Structure 1
Amino acid sequence: MQDLLWLLLPVAAASGWWWARHSTGTFTPRRRPDHSDYFKGLNYLLDDKPDQALEVFVRVAEMERDTVEAHLTLGNLFRRRGEVDRAIHIHYNLTQRQNLAPAQRQRAILELAEDYMKAGLFDRAEALYHNIIRQSEQTEHTASALHRLMQLYEQEKDWEQAIKHCDLLEQMTGQVRKIASAHYCCELAEIALGKGDKENAIKCLQESLKRDSNCARANLLLGRIAIEQSDYAAAIQALHAVAQQKPDFLS
């Protein structure tokens, strides 16, 4: 309950801006606003009644379509409360507006993708993330979309796509992600081993160590393969590396 109260504060602030804007007569509204709604919402917040306050601020946001931030925040609130259909409705309507700034549109698309993720509609979320990435201007939202795609492919165990988007994210942000990509390579090696393809598994593990020379998991798997192939010198070398990197792996 307290979390919802804190989350409603940005909505209250945006609604206050909307009320002040109309009160000063700087804008001609399409529909005459009822200023009492804003104060009613604040009173609900003060009375520790966030559910009632949320409904009031929804009405206020619907009366003024220009309050983009309020709509984004309301959609996020509904998603956090598990009301994904309402979140999708709000964020989808935002993406259809013609007067949004590019950054606002990207943010709305990103939030809609998060709604779809929450609803388990991964294909739709994936398409929206790619929509953001394809746009020529790279922003913080582009990096967020890449990161979420990487997580999505990890969740779906699509390791090749996870590696690809991990590399793209590293190129864009400059943040080293060698540990994650090295483990993705190990996952591919595990799949190859499950199919009896030791040659491909070794290639994947070598790629893993190329990305992260301290990847104990890769060395452990290489040691296992070497033992199965009776290459005990290679096995000792690999397991010695594991002992240096992660001693608990051998305990």
Structure 2
Amino acid sequence: MEFDLSWILLGLPVAFALGWIASRLDLRQLRIENRQAPKAYFKGLNYLLNEQQDQAIDAFIEAVQKDPDTSELHFALGNLFRRRGEYERAVRVHEHLLSRADLSQKDRDRAQHALAQDFLKAGLLDRAEDALRKLDGTRYQEQAWLTLLSLHERARDWAQAAAIAGRLQTAGQADFSARQAHYLCEQAADALNKKHDPSKARQLLQQAIDQSPGAARPRIQLAGLLAGHDDWHGAFEQLAKLEHHAPQAMPLVASELVRIGHASGQLARGRQLLERSYALTPAVDVADALVQADVSAGVPLSEAREGYVRHMTQEPSLIAAGRWLSHEPFAKEGAHPAVQRSIEHAARPLARYRCAACGFEAQGYFWQCPGCQAWESFPPRRIEEL
């Protein structure tokens, strides 16, 4: 049987025509998809600008399905999920991005940073820490370190926090020496209260003083440690050094200076320190401590209480008025308790401390604000004096 070449000659044009038609159909479909994907993207953007997040998510999902290789759509979708609190879906989007072999290094770093934010928002702190550590050497490195610093502070892992703060300082982000001193003070408190190791606590506090001589907390904490072991002279010397190194903190230790000065036989010197501090910046706590010092030195209470009056002539103070009134006789019998209670009730809010960063108020002084976690954001003055 002879092979008929006429069939081949006849079939070639047909095959060519079919291939051409198929290619045209593919191109047409590609054009349609390319037109639809931007349309869906811009539709989602429009919804987003109008704060219609549900419709925006639907539009972005449609766009991603039509063009799964577009990373920007994935980032937009993942960010929307996170803002809505759908952290699991946000994690899946960003993990999908990281699994792509064709993703550029820039987008890979961006996806890693977004994934870390997903874990943070979801409260998965261990996974967030792992994701943040993978950002070393990227353009997100400093941001990741700052977030890690916050995580370690919240976990009260002071050694890790100190290590991260050291890296940030080396990188030139800021001066973290004052914060490092706080970390050492926290470790000293743990050594004393949890491990019952006063020698280790003292060593850490001395290290904090050497590292940040202008910090008030290490000297105050060390004075308390020494006083707790009846080293009254050493405790007094630590508080006395605040006059030169951290004079703004004197109101915080005024009463303690009187107590320790009396125990160490240096009450007169303590009173001189308080007088100099008050002359620079009149404070109700220092005025109160001066009254206490006079009473401890044997001055009659009626005379010592004049210190409150002297303070009120300089700085009007409901707190000082209440303390002066507490020992003032009344002409009308029985009126004193009611008046005293009323003044103390009115003065109580004024005797609080207030965070300058977030406005959190507290009866006691905090080195780190319980509200916003800022360090040394509480001025060492009562609200009444601010």
Same fold, TM exceeding 0.5?
A: yes
Pair 1:150 & 2:149 matched: yes
Counterparts of 1:72 and 1:171, CA distance in 2: 32
Matched ranges for 1:207-218 at <5 A: 207-218=207-218
Counterparts of 2:222 and 2:211, CA distance in 1: 15
CA deviation map 1:154-201 (0-9, x unaligned): 111111111111111221234211222211111101101102211111
Counterparts of 1:30 and 1:242, CA distance in 2: 76
Q: Quick check: 1:129–1:145 contact (8 Å CA) kept in 2?
A: yes
Q: Give ranges in structure 2 of 5+ residues lacking alignment.
A: 1-26, 254-284, 286-386
Counterparts of 1:163 and 1:225, CA distance in 2: 23
Q: Quick check: 1:216–1:241 contact (8 Å CA) kept in 2?
A: no
Aligned residues: 221
Q: Which amino acid aligns with 1:188?
A: Q
Matched ranges for 1:86-235 at <5 A: 86-133=89-136, 138-194=137-193, 195-235=195-235
Give 1:93 deviation, angstroms.
Answer: 1.1
Partner residue in 1 for 2:62: 59
For normalisation by structure 2, the TM-score amounts to 0.52
Answer with 79-88 or 123-132: which moved more.
123-132
Q: Alpha carbons of 1:233 and 1:81: their partners in 2 closer, same or farther (altered >3 Å)?
A: same
Answer with 168-177 or 179-188: which moved more.
168-177
Q: Alpha carbons of 1:148 and 1:29: their partners in 2 closer, same or farther (altered >3 Å)?
A: farther
Report percent identity of matched pairs.
35
Answer with 173-182 or 109-118: which moved more.
173-182
SS at match of 2:171: helix
Q: Quick check: 2:219–2:238 contact (8 Å CA) kept in 1?
A: yes
Q: Name whichever structure is richer in helix by fraction.
A: 1
Partner residue in 1 for 2:309: none
Q: Alpha carbons of 1:42 and 1:101: their partners in 2 closer, same or farther (altered >3 Å)?
A: closer
Counterparts of 1:128 and 1:219, CA distance in 2: 38
SS at match of 1:140: coil
Answer with 45-54 or 175-184: which moved more.
45-54
Q: Quick check: 1:223–1:235 contact (8 Å CA) kept in 2?
A: yes
Q: Give ranges in structure 1 of 5+ residues lacking alignment.
A: 1-24
Q: Which has the higher contact order (CA 8 A, sep 6+)?
A: 1
Give 1:76 deviation, angstroms.
Answer: 2.5
Q: Quick check: 1:220–1:239 contact (8 Å CA) kept in 2?
A: yes
Counterparts of 2:42 and 2:171, CA distance in 1: 45
Q: Which amino acid aligns with 1:211?
A: Q
The structure with the largest alpha-carbon Rg is: 2
Counterparts of 2:122 and 2:154, CA distance in 1: 15
Partner residue in 2 for 1:85: 88
SS at match of 1:132: coil
Q: Which amino acid aligns with 1:230?
A: D
Answer with 52-61 or 160-169: which moved more.
52-61
CA RMSD of aligned residues (A): 2.6
Counterparts of 1:208 and 1:183, CA distance in 2: 8
Q: Quick check: 2:63–2:73 contact (8 Å CA) kept in 1?
A: no
CA deviation map 1:22-59 (0-9, x unaligned): xxx9xx78955515424533553565534312321232
Give 1:107 deviation, angstroms.
Answer: 1.9
Matched ranges for 1:25-64 at <5 A: 32-34=34-36, 35-45=38-48, 48-64=51-67
Partner residue in 2 for 1:11: none
Counterparts of 1:242 and 1:226, CA distance in 2: 16
CA deviation map 1:85-110 (0-9, x unaligned): 11111111111122223232122112
Answer with 164-173 or 65-74: which moved more.
65-74
Q: Quick check: 2:145–2:164 contact (8 Å CA) kept in 1?
A: yes
SS at match of 2:134: helix
Partner residue in 2 for 1:72: 75
Q: Quick check: 1:33–1:63 contact (8 Å CA) kept in 2?
A: no
